[in-house]
Each structure stands twice: as structure tokens, then as C-alpha cells.
Amino acid sequence: MTYFYTHIVNVQSLHDALDNAGFTDYERKELIIIAQDSLHHVLLDTILSRLAEEDKKVFLTNIHNEDHKAIWAHLKEKIENVEDTITHTAENFLAHLHYDIKRA
């Protein structure tokens, strides 16, 4: 599945960190799935918290339909600097994950 934000959020550094952390292949794959799912939920929460009720319904319908063009058109209309907001949120989340990986 390709998420609507993949062109502005890069998770390769997370893959690299997990590759070098000494986990088994199974553990690494599971941790990547958990991390990507968690990132997705954090980003959805960030977006939904900035939308009015009716706009949330439109956004979630577009998510369900996997209509990336409609998602971005809607978000850019309803949330000022939405790309910066998503990028900033993702960077903060990934920084916390990198910190946790180093401590593991």
C-alpha cells in the first residue's frame, strides 16, 4: 500500500537503523510494520485534529478510496501548510524511534 504522504515522508533511515541494530530478519520486518503503522496513525491523528467534522468525513472517504489527488486537494484547501505539518510530525516521530532503536 502506498500512503498519500510517501512523497514527503522518508522512512528509509528507519529501515537502515533497524538493519544495523542486530535484530533477526523476522524481528526487523515486524518492527518496520509496527513503526510504519504507528507513523500512519500519528499522521492521521495530526490531520484529523485540524479538520472540522464534515471535512474529516471527506478526508476519510478519500483515504478509503485511496484517491491521493483528492486527499491532497482537500487537505491543501482545509489545512494551512499541511505538507510542512506532516513533514514536521513525521520527523519528530521518527527521531523518537531512532532514539529508542539506539537504546535497544
**pLDDT-derived band at 104, boundaries 50, 70, 90:** confident
Is 93 buried (19+), middle (13-18) or exposed (0-12) by CB count in 10 A? buried
What whole-number percentage of the chain has pLDDT above 90? 90
- Containing structural domain, residue 79: 12-103
Is the residue at 7 inside a domain? no
Is the residue at 61 inside a domain? yes
- Whether 56 has a pLDDT exceeding 90, the answer reads yes
Is the residue at 37 inside a domain? yes
Is the residue at 3 inside a domain? no
Is the residue at 55 inside a domain? yes
Question: Which residue pairs, CB below 8 angstroms and at least 24 apart, start in 31-40?
Answer: 35/11, 35/97, 36/11, 38/93, 39/9, 39/11, 39/90, 39/93, 39/94, 40/3
**CA dihedral angle for residue 74, residue 80, residue 81, residue 86, rounded to 10 degrees:** -60
Is the residue at 35 inside a domain? yes
- The total domain count for the chain is 1
Cell of 27: 524481528
Angle at CA of residue 103, ends 99 and 104, nearest 5°: 120
Look at residue 2 in the predicted model and tell me its pLDDT.
Answer: 86
Is the residue at 93 inside a domain? yes
* Mean pLDDT, range 2-7, rounded to an integer: 94
What residue has cell string 467534522?
Answer: 53
What residue has cell string 483528492?
Answer: 70
- Whether 1 has a pLDDT exceeding 90, the answer reads no
Is the residue at 56 inside a domain? yes
